[in-house]
Amino acid sequence: MAPDDAAERTPGEPPGRPVRDGLLLAFAVGIVGIIFGVLARSSGLSVAKTCALSLLVFTGASQLAAVSVIDAGGAPATALGSALMLAARNTLYGPVVARWFPDRPMAERLAVAQLIIDESTGMGAAQSDPAQQRKGFVSAGLGTYVFWNLGTLVGAVAGDVVGDLQQWGLDAAFPAVYVAMLAPHLRRRPGRISALIAAAIAIATVPFLPVGIPILASTLGAFGGAVLAARRQAPNRPETP
């Protein structure tokens, strides 16, 4: 560990915890990669095209949305539109992640940009100081890239053997990943407030909004937690767990 990283680390916080948590999350995402590989093959994509999507695109929600549209008979343009809409959220993560890697060479920043996904950003944001945030982000990002692509390859090659996803319970793996990513943020009140608001929005809008839109609308819950966090960080208002 570099001296500046040691100085930044919160006293008493295990230095290896972000790496451990990031790799555990990455392993869970690898299971979802198997699902993507199976779905992509069932939609008509070859093994090579399926693996190329994961290697080059590397954003699971967009990839799953695209192959789902294609599998349902949708046009390629519709699949692309769905994928781009979901991938657009990653642009919002950029300014957050940039604060964890200040004054880095362009080549390093480009490599970091490729790793900006929900899991890596969420794991980094859940840490308490810049050094731990970098560790959480890199471990979750690189780990997810490796396990996601390995899972994609397994699912694409062994798709016929895997068969019905529900038979193996793999259909629940995708939401389980987001639960794992949410859990660290529930340790503090702003995270709990955001989660409650998001859940309320999703439940209230499911009956009358098209499929997928309630999930996007629920992201507004983050503003509630952000307001509370900003107020707690104001002078003479220390943040409490």
pLDDT of residue 199: 86
Question: Quick one: tokens of 225?
Answer: 């937690």
Choice between 76 and 166, residue whose per-residue pLDDT is larger: 76
| Distance separating alpha carbons of residues 144 and 36, to the nearest angstrom | 14
Model pLDDT for residues 82-94, shown as the tens digit of each residue: 678 778 778 888 8
Question: Quick one: tokens of 132?
Answer: 């731990």
Over residues 200-211, mean pLDDT: 82
pTM of the model: 0.66
Choice between 30 and 209, residue whose per-residue pLDDT is larger: 30
Q: What sign has the CA pseudo-torsion 94, 100, 106, 110?
A: negative
pLDDT of residue 44: 80
- Unique residue bearing structure tokens 């070859």: 46
pLDDT of residue 162: 64
- Other beta carbons within 10 angstroms of residue 166's beta carbon come to 9
Q: Are 42 and 158 in contact (CB under 8 A)?
A: no
Choice between 212 and 32, residue whose per-residue pLDDT is larger: 32
Burial of residue 142 (CB within 10 Å: 0-12, 13-18, 19+) is middle
pLDDT of residue 1: 41
Q: What is the H or E stretch that residue 186 is in?
A: none
pLDDT of residue 235: 56
pLDDT of residue 144: 93
Question: Quick one: tokens of 183?
Answer: 């859990």
